[in-house]
Structure 1
Amino acid sequence: MTDFATSTAPADVVRRQYLASAAGDLGALRATLAPDVEWTEMAGFPLAGTYRTPEGVTGGVMERLGADWDDWAAHDDTYVTDGENVVVLARYTAVNKATGRPVDVRVAHHFIVRGGLIVRFEQFVDTAKVRDAMPA
């Protein structure tokens, strides 16, 4: 049996990414990402765009979410795996620091995992619900 911590199975790699994010362990999160990762936040999302490199992802997305939101979390609950493709149905929860308004919204994440690393990520979320919690 393969150890979860070293497994290269796509769903295990993605799960380690969520666990590292939840723990605020950006080093462990970067370790799940390929050097040439492409991480796309959906158009209309506050951090919309494509980020490249593990440092670009953590600095451009995770650190910025932490700066603007209290207790930002992605609660992964359902995994659908087909080869290197992993789709995760999840929920974002947080409270915007500037407004004090909460967000609780369903999301879908699509990951492509090759060679034990995430090479591509794409987010699907109701961006209006996120923006409703933000300053005007």
Structure 2
Amino acid sequence: MAGTDFGVSTAPVDVVRRQYLASAAGDLEALRATLAPDVEWTEMAGFPLAGTYRTPDGVTANVMEKLGQDWDDWIAHDDNYVVDGENVVVLARYTAVNKATGKPIDVRVAHHFVVRGGLIVRFEQYVDTALVREAMPD
């Protein structure tokens, strides 16, 4: 067999799963290791962090770190995976408590990932943004 790192799969579903595990653990270095250098990460219009972020550092600084500033225990629960080649769609839930209001969320979400060469090259979020905003300060 070529290579000696038998523990790290580059299959799209495994790369996406590692991203969720790193996020849940708060391990931003491991999360960045799943992202391509030219990743395009899009948070849905209407979401508090709406926009498209590029580079692994740009994604973690503008999404994960900011979620951590405003929310306690933000977790994306990756419930179901639908895989078609390089496309991975995850049906998930966000749970968290807003630090300013103390209001919790439990919101369904869908994530679409594109994985090439063992790295996430594109991400797009689909979520009911109104439910997230209801837990936030006015």
Normalization by structure 2: what TM-score? 0.96
Deviation at 1:95, TM superposition (A): 0.3
Task: Measure, in 1, the Cα distance between the counterparts of 2:49 and 2:26.
Answer: 18
Q: Which residue of 2 aligns with 1:47?
A: 49
**Greater radius of gyration (CA):** 2
Gaps of at least 5 residues in structure 2 are none
Q: Which residue of 1 aligns with 2:117?
A: 115
How many residues align? The count is 134
Q: Does 1:86 align with 2:99?
A: no
Alignment match of 1:35 (pick from 16, 37, 45): 37
Gaps of at least 5 residues in structure 1 are none
Deviation at 1:6, TM superposition (A): 1.1
Task: Measure, in 1, the Cα distance between the counterparts of 2:8 and 2:93.
Answer: 26
Task: Measure, in 1, the Cα distance between the counterparts of 2:130 and 2:106.
Answer: 12
Alignment match of 1:18 (pick from 7, 17, 20): 20
Secondary structure (helix, strand or coil) at the match of 1:107 reads strand
2:93 corresponds to which letter in structure 1? R
CA RMSD of aligned residues (A): 0.9
Normalization by structure 1: what TM-score? 0.97
The structure 1 segments of at least 4 consecutive aligned residues displaced by more than 4 Å after TM superposition are none
